[in-house]
A and B are shown apart, each in its own frame.
Chain A
């Protein structure tokens, strides 16, 4: 099932001579259980693509469906509900609320959606547990390491029944081992059926994805083909 479907999506800013095409006729479909990475230089439209997919921004033209619902046809409230229930975000700088504990940060989107505080807390603890942070549930963000903070952000993004995970440079300023840890978690979420779109300029992060889409000047210019199994590398071996 397609969790995200973008058809001929364009986004322009400004008018006349100052008009800028941030996105131009972009098609992108992501099925449940699949991770897609979007690679491109800064200014290529990566972040715009993500905010439109997350219904935080309207496309100038084109169609966006999330979990089968066409975003342009939804009311403001319905869109907000869809965002709270079905879409999780991971940002570059984590965006945790400093005054809330790890568990409270993760429970927040559920509580905003009307889930009782007790149920939200149970779900939050389960999500933190899954990411190996059960012991840190009562810690505040400034008591956590960078890697831990990002894991809390991922827990918050996948808590409940989220079906679409959107991540913008999710490894932020983490070192490569912690960055790899972030990608392993997103990958694991996809194995449980979540669809993910990860925007990055980092090829090592992108290589965790099932498919890599290349964006240039607001257009999808290319994408990777399904890879042959890793056996092909091991039998050939490098430097032969």
Chain B
């Protein structure tokens, strides 16, 4: 979450005071991301240092100090909005790690591990949906909250779907012993090759990384 660009966006509507920026930031993000006032002022100082905003000057100290966006700031904001976030290299996802580890720990049911996480995620989604249900319906001012809640729901939903896919992939592999044997043989070869470098548990990740041609 870029507080820096969020503040630039608020200033693009007109000059504002620090406290006002904090209040508007929280209101516009559905009050889901609390922001402390110290964070606002440090960010503003840095923006001013970089020439992206300008202030009334040092004679107006504290909460009475107003801030304006500069031409360079407006340019920076436009460029940021149009730059896709970097999603190219796979993130080091703890849940993915846990499922990979569970596959290898003797006596562990990977499907039970998957279900624990699935239930937790669905419970979280239920909580987010309650917010939508009680606060979003029919009120236009809550569009921002609706957008934030949707973003969370889609993110969690993607994880649940991954768990579902993992579940059926594992089930299918277990039901097809020939494939499973082949996979084990493959795994053994791969293990031999990388035995020195990788620990067993994180092995799949370097493999993915190699295939994607991604850097470390």
* B168 contacts A by Cβ under 8 Å: yes
Secondary structure class of chain B's binding surface, majority of residues: helix
What residues of chain A lie closer than 8 Å to B104, measured between beta carbons?
none
* B167 contacts A by Cβ under 8 Å: yes
- Pairwise interchain contact B130-A41, C-beta atoms closer than 8 A: no
Q: How far is the CA of A201 from the CA of B129 in the complex (A)?
A: 17
Q: Mark B28-45, 1 if CB is under 8 A from A, else 0.
A: 000111100000000000
* B180 contacts A by Cβ under 8 Å: no
Nearest CB of chain A from residue B1's CB, rounded to whole Å? 6
- Pairwise interchain contact B34-A237, C-beta atoms closer than 8 A: yes
**Interface of chain A residues 120 through 145 with chain B (CB within 8 A):** none
| Chain B residue at minimal CB-CB distance from A183 | B129
**Interface of chain B residues 88 through 135 with chain A (CB within 8 A):** 111, 115, 118-119, 121-134
* A116 contacts B by Cβ under 8 Å: no
- Pairwise interchain contact B122-A187, C-beta atoms closer than 8 A: no
Q: How far is the CA of A184 from the CA of B160 in the complex (A)?
A: 22
Q: How far is the CA of A184 from the CA of B152 in the complex (A)?
A: 19
- Pairwise interchain contact B133-A41, C-beta atoms closer than 8 A: no
- Pairwise interchain contact A209-B126, C-beta atoms closer than 8 A: yes
Q: How many chain A residues have a CB neighbour from B under 8 Å? A: 31
* B210 contacts A by Cβ under 8 Å: no
* B54 contacts A by Cβ under 8 Å: no
- Pairwise interchain contact B119-A239, C-beta atoms closer than 8 A: no
Nearest CB of chain A from residue B89's CB, rounded to whole Å? 19
* B156 contacts A by Cβ under 8 Å: yes
Nearest CB of chain A from residue B149's CB, rounded to whole Å? 9
Nearest CB of chain B from residue A169's CB, rounded to whole Å? 15
- Pairwise interchain contact A204-B127, C-beta atoms closer than 8 A: no
- Pairwise interchain contact A233-B131, C-beta atoms closer than 8 A: yes
Whether A203 touches B122, Cβ cut-off 8 Å, given contacts A230-B134, A234-B31, is: yes
Q: How far is the CA of A180 from the CA of B128 in the complex (A)?
A: 13
What residues of chain A lie closer than 8 Å to B153, measured between beta carbons?
204, 207
What residues of chain B lie closer than 8 Å to A223, measured between beta carbons?
119
Q: Mark B12-36, 1 if CB is under 8 A from A, else 0.
A: 0000000000000000000111100
* B48 contacts A by Cβ under 8 Å: no
What residues of chain B lie closer than 8 Å to A227, measured between beta carbons?
123, 126-127, 130
- Pairwise interchain contact A229-B130, C-beta atoms closer than 8 A: yes
Interface centre among A204, A206, A221, A232 (most CB of B within 10 A): A204
What residues of chain A lie closer than 8 Å to B132, measured between beta carbons?
180
- Pairwise interchain contact B164-A212, C-beta atoms closer than 8 A: no
What residues of chain A lie closer than 8 Å to B129, measured between beta carbons?
204, 207-208
| Chain A residue at minimal CB-CB distance from B134 | A230
| Chain A residue at minimal CB-CB distance from B168 | A41
Partner of B128, one of A39, A207, A209, A214: A207
- Pairwise interchain contact A207-B34, C-beta atoms closer than 8 A: no
What residues of chain B lie closer than 8 Å to A187, measured between beta carbons?
133
* B137 contacts A by Cβ under 8 Å: yes
| Chain B residue at minimal CB-CB distance from A233 | B127
| Chain A residue at minimal CB-CB distance from B128 | A233
- Pairwise interchain contact A239-B156, C-beta atoms closer than 8 A: no
Beyond contacts A214-B115, A214-B119: 5 other A-B pairs, Cβ-Cβ < 8 A, are A41-B168, A203-B125, A204-B125, A207-B128, A230-B128
A-B pairs with the 8 shortest C-beta distances? A207-B125, A203-B160, A207-B129, A230-B131, A230-B130, A207-B126, A227-B126, A224-B123
A-B contact pairs, 21 of them (CB 8 A): A180-B132, A202-B157, A203-B156, A203-B160, A204-B125, A206-B125, A207-B153, A208-B126, A208-B133, A212-B123, A216-B111, A222-B115, A224-B126, A225-B123, A227-B130, A230-B128, A233-B127, A234-B31, A237-B33, A238-B33, A238-B152
